C-alpha cells in the first residue's frame, strides 16, 4: 500500500464512489449528499477542484474505501 492519497477533485471522487454503489440523493450548492443502499451512513462530497487531504481521508473512511481501492476506481 502506498503512503499518500492521490490528489482528486470532488467530481472525480463522486464518479468513483458511484461505481461502487453510492447514489447521489441531493445537492445544495457545491456539496452533494450520497447514500448507499447497504450502509446507514451518508456522505457529503464537496465539488471542489482539489479536495484537501484530510477531507478526502474522512470521506474515504466513512465510505469504507482504502487508498488502493480509490486508485483502482479512478
- CATH superfamily membership of 10-73: Hypothetical protein. (3.30.920.30)
The pLDDT value recorded for residue 3 is 75
* pLDDT of 31 above 90: yes
Q: Compute the distance between CA of residue 38 and CA of residue 51 in angstroms, rounded to an integer.
A: 26
Summarize pLDDT for 49-60 with one digit per residue, the tens: 999 999 999 999
Boundaries of every domain in the chain = 10-73
Nearest to 69, CA basis, from 20, 8, 23, 27: 20
Whole-prediction pTM value?
0.89
Amino acid at each position: 500500500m502506498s503512503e499518500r492519497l492521490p490528489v482528486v477533485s470532488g467530481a472525480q471522487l463522486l464518479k468513483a464512489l458511484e461505481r461502487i454503489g453510492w447514489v447521489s440523493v441531493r445537492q445544495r450548492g457545491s456539496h452533494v449528499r450520497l447514500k448507499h443502499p447497504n450502509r446507514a451512513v451518508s456522505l457529503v462530497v464537496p465539488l471542489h477542484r482539489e479536495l484537501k487531504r484530510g477531507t478526502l481521508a474522512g470521506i474515504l473512511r466513512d465510505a469504507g474505501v482504502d487508498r488502493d481501492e480509490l486508485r483502482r476506481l479512478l
